Structure 1
Amino acid sequence: MQKVCLALPTMRPCPGTIVDLAEEAAYAVANFGAEVHILVLDTTDAAGFAKNADAVASLAPTPGVFVHHLGEEQQREFFRRVAERSGAADPELLLDMMLPGAVAYGSCVNRIFLGAAALGCTSAHLRNDDADFQVLDGEKIFPIHHELLSIGRPAGEAVAGVTRSELDPADADKPVLLVSGSFMGELNVDIGEIRELDPEVYRDVVRLWTPPVWPDEDRDAMVDVSFKGTGTEPFTADESVLGVPDIWNVFMCNVALDHRAYEVLPLLPSVKTLGCDYALLHALVHARMPGVVHNRHIVNYYTPERRTGAGFVPYQMGFVKLLLSMLYLYPVYGGMIDLGRGMLDERHGLKVEPILELVRGSVDWDRAGNEHCLDVLDRSYRKLGGKYAELADAVAERRPQLLDEAQEDARRWAVLIEAWAPLVAASRAEGLGAVSEVPAG
């Protein structure tokens, strides 16, 4: 029996998403005989937590489905115990990287990974609180269908569960550590308004996250596909492909990962930084591990706070920090491409040592690229005017701090990678179980 973690990190009231997750879990039990642990890691305020708790309490009991809903203080206590149990020299630093006092997309997924280890699950299935499932003939289209067909299986066995195989026969014994769909709907980074206001400014801005060593035509081609997902064609029938995925076809908003991946490499613990949760997908793809890409895409939508007066600048600042992070990530990703299957051990698992060496090597990268990035952003935002001119002012005011934070994020990632294996072991030993399990119904 597969024991899996169906996970939802959230910082807002999302009772409808919780109900959807319970339906997906019931589908997994009914169709695959899996044991499903729904893990909701909730950092909303007291009123938001109460709404989510009411949704959890209203769920009908389902044999084989177990619900764990942890508020921020419960999480803090658990991860404090884990950090101390890991034997780390500075458990408070690890706790801060796991549960900082601000939004951190990589950190919330890292908490999911350690929660899955504590629950004894063999895979983690990630969902978002700002996405819906597609519907066909009144039935929701659950990604877990394809995920449970393949995740963790030898690729040669997974061939039977896909509609098309591009598997190299030499990879038949390698496990499927990654299954992913895409998304449709709005861009997964809320910058579409820039494109509407001035397509040339949009191109200049998005170009900043492309590899600077690429030729201009390749950078422009990357701009054209960035943040767009799969388009607008709705689901009509299952399609799935087994092989080495293209990095553009895998998304953390709709993914299943085997424990042999996420127990090796954590994500960046960057605070208030969009897109800092993709490094593990890069490692698996660039190591040329077989994976499955399917078409049970989710529907992305925006929550309103990111476009309000109070929420606009903080959200867009997260995009600025994403752009600055690439100075340190592209050397790592490029090194991963060069290493290829050299990142795998004799059992076809990821080796952490070569990845850690790449991360350490990126920390002292010349900041000139990020100085240029901020110069281009300043010109671009001021050209747009209005609230974007105000954003330019905010970025200019924080310029030295932003440059320092991007470098410090890379350094902290190296520290977390070093500590990750002991944290995973401590989570397994600590367990989650009854501490968080919520009776449904």
Structure 2
Amino acid sequence: MRRVCLTLPTHRACPDTIRAVAEEAAHGARHFDVEVHLLILDSSQAPVLAGHRQVVAALPRVPGVVVHHLDETAQRAFLRGAIARSGAAEGAAGPERMLGLMLPSRVSYGACTNRAFLFAEALGCASVHRRDSDSRYQHLDGEPVFPLHHELTALGRPAAEVAGLVSRSRLDPAYAHRPVALVGGSFVGEMSVDVEEIRRLDPLVYEDVIGLSVPDGYPEIWRRNLITESFRGAGTAAYTGDLTTLTTVSPTRVDMCNIALAREVYGRVPLPPATDTIGSDYFLLHLVHDARLPGVLHNRHIVNFHTGERRSDSGFLAYQLRFAKFLLAAPHLHSVYAGTTAAGESLLDTGGGLRASAVADLVRESTRLDPLENAERLDVVERSYRKLGGRYAEAADFLAARRERLIDEVREDMAEFALLIDAWEPLARETASKGIA
């Protein structure tokens, strides 16, 4: 029986989400010939962790669903053993440095998903299906609408077979023989709470700041469209029925709270382990698209909401740091994406898998970019935030005090990502089907 991993990484209280994702796992087991491994990777503090354990213990037992709830102590023990056995940390990385990239002390959207990838490998899973702690499912006629249904229908099957199961196909027939590597949707509801506030306070400042996320050289009309669509997901329209498209999925059309990837993707290349950097976990979506791997885009969008912490002063400042690092990482990532776009299908080996060495070379090349560009980007952010005033002026002071460190950090993040790519395949191979006990 095919095993799949439905994962929920979290570092905050989310009992309702745990229950809802468990229902999604049960749906998958009931409607498909699969064993669903519900993997909760919990980095919460002790009181929250204890509450989550009670929620997990109370989940109904469902045939075909296996639940794993792992705190950071269990995750660290698993990773330390896997790193030591694989020999992946020999040379420049070293075992402790490699462990730090997999389980950093600071928030890392890529690292938490990389851990899910390795646990899925250990469990013998064919795919990883990712959800977030601050999301809910849409409903139709009183029933939740689960993205897992489309993910299990299409993922891993030849695109030619899937073409008859979707609403429409926009895939080049030349790629019809390839298996579907990605299935994803977006979110509906609130856009990013802090970014929305910037837009509301001053639309021109919003354009200046969000414009830093757009690659250089884009025609003005494309640039404006990207700025307009950024951070909005799929808008606010309610789900009324399925619409699925077989295509090479654009990374701008999906969200990491609503994504599934085949192991042929994440078994070759990990995500950037950058800390305090939003958007860094979208890297594989770009690779899948640029390598012309088939995907399915669906409209079972997840409902986005923001926790109370995100609306607090400390939550605001933490997000502004992550947003600033995202803007500073953009030139490095755009350099890599320009290379992957140019490489196209040559990113794949003769077996159709991603060539990790080619990706690592592009990542290393990006570390040679002139840091002056990022100094100028920080100038734009600081100037814009001071114009907004209030707590944005305080955020400008916060970023200015860390100016050189942030620029250096972003470059180091990319260098460490290249190291992780080098070590990843041996680590994944060593981990595969070994279990997590």
Q: TM-score, normalised by structure 2?
A: 0.97
Conserved 8 A contact 2:123-2:434: no
CA distance in 1, matches of 2:193, 2:122: 32
Is contact 2:186-2:255 (8 Å) kept?
yes
Contact 2:175 2:292 in 1 (8 A): no
Q: Does the 8 Å CA contact 1:188/1:300 hold for their aligned counterparts?
A: no
- Check the 8 A contact 2:258/2:301 in 1, yes or no: yes
Residues 250 and 286, structure 2, Cα contact 8 Å, conserved in 1: no
| Stretch of structure 1 that moved more, 301-310 or 379-388 | 301-310
Deviates more, 1:55-64 or 1:305-314: 305-314
Letter in 2 for 1:347: G
SS of corresponding position for 1:179 = strand
More deviation, 197-206/157-166: 157-166
Q: Residue 357 of structure 2 contacts residue 422 of structure 2 at CA under 8 Å; is this kept in 1?
A: no
Equivalent residue for 1:281, pick from 285, 301, 311: 285
Where 2:163 maps in the other structure, the secondary structure is helix
Aligned counterparts of 1:137 and 1:221: Cα–Cα separation in 2: 34
Residues 143 and 254 in structure 1, CA contact (< 8 A), matched pair in contact too:
yes
Residue equivalent to 2:310: 306
| 1:148 is the counterpart of 2:152 | yes
- Of residues 341, 346, 357, the one that matches 2:350 is 346
Distance 1:372 1:189, change over 3 A: farther
Aligned-pair identity in percent equals 49
Kept after mapping to 2: 8 A contact 1:241/1:292:
yes
Does residue 1:83 correspond to 2:88, yes or no? no
Report how far residue 345 of structure 1 moved.
1.8
Quick check: 1:21 aligned with 2:25?
A: no
Equivalences for 1:193-204 in 2 at 5 Å? 193-204=197-208
Determine the structure 2 residue equivalent to 1:8.
8
- 1:57 counterpart residue number: 57
Q: Distance in 1 between matches of 2:38 and 2:413?
A: 30
Alignment of 1:40-439 (within 5 A): 40-87=40-87, 88-89=89-90, 90-188=94-192, 190-428=194-432, 430-432=434-436, 435=437
Unaligned runs of 5+ in 2: none
The answer as to whether partners of 2:124 and 2:433 remain within 8 angstroms in 1 is no
Separation (CA, whole Å) in 2 of partners of 1:168 and 1:100: 41
CA distance in 1, matches of 2:163, 2:225: 32
Quote the offset at 1:189 in angstroms: 6.7
Q: Distance in 2 between matches of 1:77 and 1:247?
A: 34
Contact 1:240 1:294 in 2 (8 A): yes
Asked if 2 retains the 8 angstrom alpha-carbon contact of 1:210 and 1:222, the reply is yes
* Residues in 2 aligned to 1:314 and 1:148: alpha-carbon distance in whole angstroms: 36
Q: Deviations over 1:327-380 (max 9, x none)?
A: 210010011111111111222221112211111111111112101100001110
Gaps of 5+ in 1: 436-441
Q: Describe the SS at the equivalent of 1:24.
A: helix
CA spacing shift, 1:61–1:429, aligned 2, 3 Å: closer
Task: Kindly provide the amino acid, as one letter, of the partner of residue 46 in structure 2.
Answer: A
Which residue type is aligned with residue 335 of structure 1? Answer: G
Q: CA deviation at 1:216?
A: 3.4
Report if the CA contact (8 A) 1:152-1:258 is conserved. Answer: yes
Q: Which residue in 2 is equivalent to 1:438?
A: none
* CA deviation vs aligned residue, 1:189-208 (integer Å, no higher than 9, x gap): 74110111111111110001
C-alpha contact 1:28 1:34 (8 A) present in aligned 2? yes
Provide TM-score, normalisation by structure 1.
Answer: 0.96
Q: Does 1:33 align with 2:55?
A: no
Deviations 1:259-300 (A, max 9, x none): 000111111111111111011000000111111000100011
Q: Is the 8 A contact 2:239 2:300 kept in 1?
A: yes
RMSD (CA atoms): 1.1
Q: Is contact 1:5-1:125 (8 Å) kept?
A: yes
Local SS of the residue matching 1:191: helix
Asked if the contact 2:138/2:303 (under 8 Å) is kept, the reply is yes
Q: Distance in 1 between matches of 2:414 and 2:234?
A: 30
Q: Is residue 126–residue 253 contact of structure 1 (8 Å, CA) maintained in 2?
A: yes
CA distance in 1: counterparts of 2:241 and 2:286, whole angstroms: 28
Quick check: 2:186–2:301 contact (8 Å CA) kept in 1?
yes
Contact 2:233/2:254 (<8 A) preserved: no
Report the 3-state secondary structure (helix = DSSP H, G, I; strand = E; otherwise coil) of the residue aligned with 1:413: helix
Q: Report the more deviating stretch, 185-194 or 45-54.
A: 185-194
Q: Tell me the distance in 1 between the aligned counterparts of 2:182 and 2:193.
A: 23
Q: Which amino acid in structure 2 is aligned with residue 161 of structure 1?
A: L
**What is the number of equivalent residue pairs in this alignment?**
433
C-alpha deviation, 1:166, in angstroms: 2.0
Note if contact 1:82-1:426 (Cα within 8 Å) is conserved in structure 2: yes
2:123 and 2:53 map into 1 onto residues whose CA distance is 20
Where 2:280 maps in the other structure, the secondary structure is: coil
Q: Deviation at 1:310?
A: 2.1
